[in-house]
Chains A and B, each alone.
Chain A
Amino acid sequence: SQTIHQWPATLVQPVGSPLSLECTVEGTSNPNLYWYRQAAGRGLQLLFYSVGIGQISSEVPQNLSASRPQDRQFILSSKKLLLSDSGFYLCAWSTGQGLGGYTFGSGTRLTVV
Chain B
Amino acid sequence: GQQLNQSPQSMFIQEGEDVSMNCTSSSIFNTWLWYKQEPGEGPVLLIALYKAGELTSNGRLTAQFGITRKDSFLNISASIPSDVGIYFCARETSGSRLTFGEGTQLTVNP
Binding site for B on A (CB under 8 A): 6, 32, 34, 41-44, 46, 49, 51, 57, 59, 90, 92, 94-98, 100-107, 109
Residues of A within 8 A of B60 (CB): none
Residues of A within 8 A of B96 (CB): 32, 94-98
**Nearest opposing residue in chain B for A10, CB measure:** B40
Are the CB atoms of B103 and A43 closer together than 8 Å? Answer: yes
Asked if B99 CB lies within 8 Å of chain A CBs, one says: yes
Are the CB atoms of A107 and B41 closer together than 8 Å? Answer: yes
Binding site for A on B (CB under 8 A): 31, 33, 35, 39-45, 48, 86, 88, 90, 92, 95-103, 105
Residues of B within 8 A of A57 (CB): 95
Distance to closest chain B CB from A105 (angstroms): 5
Residues of A within 8 A of B100 (CB): 43-44
With contacts A43-B100, A109-B40 taken as known, whether A98 is within 8 angstroms of B95 at the C-beta atoms is no
Is chain B's binding surface mostly helix, strand, loop or mixed? Answer: strand
Are the CB atoms of A92 and B86 closer together than 8 Å? Answer: no
Is chain A's binding surface mostly helix, strand, loop or mixed? Answer: strand
Are the CB atoms of A43 and B102 closer together than 8 Å? Answer: yes
Q: A105 CA to B55 CA in the complex, in Å?
A: 28
Best-buried of A32, A42, A59, A107 by chain B (most CB within 10 Å): A42
Distance to closest chain B CB from A10 (angstroms): 9
Distance to closest chain A CB from B101 (angstroms): 8
**Nearest opposing residue in chain B for A101, CB measure:** B33
Are the CB atoms of A42 and B97 closer together than 8 Å? Answer: no
With contacts A46-B97, A57-B95 taken as known, whether A105 is within 8 angstroms of B102 at the C-beta atoms is no
Residues of B within 8 A of A98 (CB): 31, 92, 96
The 8 Å CB contact of B88, one of A44, A49, A92, A107, is: A44
Residues of A within 8 A of B92 (CB): 98, 101
Are the CB atoms of B45 and A103 closer together than 8 Å? Answer: yes
**Nearest opposing residue in chain B for A88, CB measure:** B40
**Nearest opposing residue in chain B for A102, CB measure:** B98
The 8 Å CB contact of A106, one of B41, B48, B90, B105, is: B41
